């Protein structure tokens, strides 16, 4: 069973990459009051982290606009946070796969005791 499930998520991620939300829904959920309330509950930047961070974002993200992530980066930089930033060609679901190599290297360097290189 493990052998058949090993790559099960590959199609789930890449099979829908670069699709538009309208391709999968009958109404745009991003415009509903329930959805609009979620960002207010989870406002990033209210308390800057003390540890180095590697925020990354997809340039084609429909769920969270790139401009929002770029604003957070500027706020973190202004607060003195060590920020290593990455923008990748991808939308909300596939971007982590495209950034995986950089993320693994970033985390490997932190665990190896290497200092983060801020891109502020």
Q: Quickly state the pLDDT bin for 7 (edges 50, 70, 90).
A: low
Instruction: Please say whether the dihedral angle defined by the alpha carbons of residues 98, 99, 102 and 107, taken in this order, is positive or negative.
Output: negative
For the beta carbon of residue 68, count every other beta carbon within 10 angstroms: 14
Q: Quickly state the pLDDT bin for 10 (edges 50, 70, 90).
A: low
Cα first-last separation, the chain = 47
Over the stretch 50-90, which tens digit does the pLDDT of each residue have? 999 999 999 999 888 999 999 999 999 999 999 999 999 98
> pLDDT value at position 1?
52
> Model-level pTM?
0.65
> pLDDT value at position 88?
95
For 25, 36, 57, the CA distances from 39, given in Å and listed in that order, are: 21, 7, 16
Q: Quickly state the pLDDT bin for 24 (edges 50, 70, 90).
A: confident
Query: Smallest Cα–Cα separation from 95: which of 66, 67, 120, 72?
Result: 66
């Amino acid at each position: 069973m493990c052998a058949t499930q090993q790559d099960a998520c590959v199609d789930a991620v890449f099979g829908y990459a670069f699709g538009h939300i309208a391709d999968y829904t009958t109404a745009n959920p991003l415009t509903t009051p329930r959805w609009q309330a979620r960002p207010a509950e989870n406002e990033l930047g209210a308390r800057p982290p003390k540890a180095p961070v590697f925020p990354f974002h997809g340039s084609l993200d429909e769920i969270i606009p790139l401009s929002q992530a770029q604003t957070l980066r500027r706020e973190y930089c202004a607060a003195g946070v060590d920020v290593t930033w990455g923008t990748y060609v991808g939308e909300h679901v596939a971007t982590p796969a495209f950034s995986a190599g950089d993320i693994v290297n970033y985390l490997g360097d932190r665990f190896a005791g290497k200092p983060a290189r801020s891109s502020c």
